[in-house]
Structure 1
Amino acid sequence: MTTDPADRGVHEEHRVQGVDHAAFPTFDPAATVRFYRDTLKFPVVHSICAAGWGPAEHPDFIHFFFDIGNDDRIAFFYYFGHEPVGDPAARGDAWARLPEGTPEFFANSRHLAIHVDSEEDLLEYRRRLDDSAWPCEMQVMHETIESIYTHDPNGYMIEITRALRPVTPQEDLDAALTIDALCEVASGPEPSLDKLLTRKAELIVERAADWDAAQQAPSGTGAVPR
């Protein structure tokens, strides 16, 4: 089927700008951080701590992001209180499988997010979806983005997202502290979001003291904050 050139020009006014992030669940956030941040040197650039989000059965979780270049990111969800079933040495979905009846949130954590530049573009894609067999299922304002969601014909969740504002250097620092706290808490007994936030507060106090000491140290001593 051919497309009228004038019609094609209208459609090209609203273009996606590539991958914002691809997201997956993890049962081992500490190992995930060691692999992506420490081994591959992908910086942690954002994190979201969510308590009481969504439906009543939705657990507390942390959603954290690594920069993989060109403003693209790979992201992971860690759900507090959920453990894998089966052989931890198995790969991929064989390890990630949870018991029958697990809420849909776990399947939806595996999704692709596509970036657009403006609210106008986002609403245009919502219009296209709503006029199709796959209407928009949810439109959400997150901390720094606004997103629309649907499922494709294969059952995979697709997100189209726009930035509400730039992520600040202070938020990058907050993400680094959050991930350091997560790695400690998730490796201990009965991890929870409350424990993560408590440990994060302790790290802020510890590192603030280190920073003050570095600022007061004589020039040339080599003292630096952690």
Structure 2
Amino acid sequence: MSKPEHRVKGVDHAAFPTFDPVGTVRFYRDVLKFPVVHSICAAGWGPERHPDFIHFFFDIGNGDRIAFFYYFGFQPPGGAGGTGDAYATFTDDVPQFFINSRHLAIHVDDEQDLLEYRRRLDESHWPVEMQVMHETIESVYTHDPNGYLVEITRSLRPVTPQEDLDAALTVEALVDVASGPEPSMDKLLARKAELIVQRATGWEQEQERAGGAKEMTRP
């Protein structure tokens, strides 16, 4: 049975830049109760002079996600700053990586579908500009006729509960670091390591208590 012409499965994620990661996490995670489900710590990624960044995702239901980019050391263009200014009018001073962080990602089921959309794009006036294998997804990218970045993506494998936990720790570390002076990727990774050690102690104690309880219940 052949596949239909229309193969996409809705929105995988919509992505935006943020200058206020602490407020963003508090709003989506703490106020709206959208769980943190994935994060990518990208150090030394991209073309020359591309800053380190963290890309973090919230579950908004039905398999859809909203995602944000926080760029370490990148100051708001034109002196902008504060709530909402990440979405202000762009100027010539805004680098392309920041503009591209505002994009739509469309989900497809498998590699066959991804390559089919690559073929369609490559045969059009808007050929694929890059194809990237991320941690858990593979994506192709192009700009639409309006200049908006569009991503078509497939899952490489299911995201594990352990990865969800890693994302939660990463975002918690981001909130701690971004609340202080001169946040950086190095500071984030160091803080995340501290949180892992702290949590590991608690997990070990829980395991010991659980083991003791089992011993007490044996006949």
Fold in common (TM above 0.5): yes
- The yes-or-no answer on 1:145 pairing with 2:146 is no
Q: CA deviation at 1:152?
A: 0.5
Letter in 2 for 1:108: N
Match of 1:88 in 2: 82
Match of 2:95 in 1: 103
Match of 1:175 in 2: 167
My pick for the range that moved more, 77-86 or 64-73, is 77-86
1:120–1:183 distance in 2 versus 1, CA, 3 Å: same
Q: Does the 8 A contact of 1:57 with 1:103 survive in 2?
A: no
Structure 2: distance between partners of 1:133 and 1:120: 22
Match of 1:213 in 2: 205
Match of 2:190 in 1: 198
Q: CA deviation at 1:216?
A: 2.7
Letter in 2 for 1:68: I
Structure 2: distance between partners of 1:176 and 1:104: 29
Structure 1: distance between partners of 2:169 and 2:21: 14
- 1:1-226 equivalent positions in 2, closer than 5 A: 12-13=4-5, 15-84=7-76, 85-88=79-82, 93-94=87-88, 100-217=92-209, 219=213
Structure 2: distance between partners of 1:38 and 1:108: 27
Match of 2:216 in 1: none
RMSD: 1.9
**Once the two structures are superposed, what CA deviation does each residue of 1:128-150 show, in whole Å capped at 9, x if it has no partner?**
10111111000000000000000
How many residue pairs get aligned? The number is: 209
**Once the two structures are superposed, what CA deviation does each residue of 1:15-67 show, in whole Å capped at 9, x if it has no partner?**
10000000000111111010000100100000000011110111100000000
Q: Does the 8 A contact of 1:44 with 1:64 survive in 2?
A: yes
Q: CA deviation at 1:103?
A: 2.1
Q: CA deviation at 1:179?
A: 0.4
Structure 2: distance between partners of 1:92 and 1:46: 22
Q: 3-state DSSP class of the match of 2:154?
A: strand
TM-score, normalised to structure 2, is: 0.90
Structure 2 gaps of 5+ residues are 214-219
1:110–1:135 distance in 2 versus 1, CA, 3 Å: same
TM-score, normalised to structure 1, is: 0.87
Q: CA deviation at 1:198?
A: 0.3
Letter in 2 for 1:107: I
Structure 1 gaps of 5+ residues are 1-8, 220-226
1:77–1:87 distance in 2 versus 1, CA, 3 Å: closer
The percent identity for this pair of structures is: 74
Structure 1: distance between partners of 2:171 and 2:81: 26
Structure 1: distance between partners of 2:51 and 2:169: 22
Letter in 1 for 2:205: A
